[in-house]
Amino acid sequence: GAVVSQHPSRVICKSGTSVKIECRSLDFQATTMFWYRQFPKQSLMLMATSNEGSKATYEQGVEKDKFLINHASLTLSTLTVTSAHPEDSSFYICSARSQGTETQYFGPGTRLLVL
């Protein structure tokens, strides 16, 4: 149980284009989903928290107009990196929790490379 998937697992795009990453909870309803960014050999940095049906809450320093988050259903959240630039290249990880639990379960991550 508590499986979270992400798609795609890796993506290469040209500078200036937009990229959408999907995060799905496969066997539970995710009341809250989280998006993290991880640079090589570093820890996870929380970008934003989203609750189903409401606007995401972004961490300080994260541009909400650049990193669009949609949590339209209890099993799906999407992160869209708009007008991507090479400095957006990173590993993006989502996690999800269900109502009544304190534990986050993580997706396998998406490696984004912007050329």
Compute the least distance from the CB of residue 95 to other proteins, in Å. 7
User: In angstroms, rounded to a whole number, what is the distance separating the alpha carbons of residues 35 and 68?
Assistant: 11
Question: Contact region for other proteins (CB under 8 A) — 21-29, 34-42, 69-77, 82-90?
Answer: 34-42
Sites for other proteins among residues 41-60 (CB under 8 A): 42-44, 46, 49
Size of the site for other proteins (CB under 8 A): 20
User: In angstroms, rounded to a whole number, what is the distance separating the alpha carbons of residues 58 and 103?
Assistant: 20
DSSP string, 12-29: EE-TT--EEEEEEESSS-
Sites for other proteins among residues 91-110 (CB under 8 A): 91, 93, 95, 97, 102-109
Alpha carbon distances (Å) from 73 to 16, 29, 114: 28, 9, 29
Q: Is 34 in the site for other proteins (CB under 8 A)?
A: yes
Q: Residue 75 or 109: which CB sits closer to other proteins?
A: 109
3-state helix, strand, coil in the chain (%, to 5): 5, 50, 45
User: In angstroms, rounded to a whole number, what is the distance separating the alpha carbons of residues 112 and 115?
Assistant: 10
Q: Residue 44 or 74: which CB sits closer to other proteins?
A: 44
Q: Site residues (CB under 8 A) for other proteins?
A: 32, 34, 38, 42-44, 46, 49, 91, 93, 95, 97, 102-109
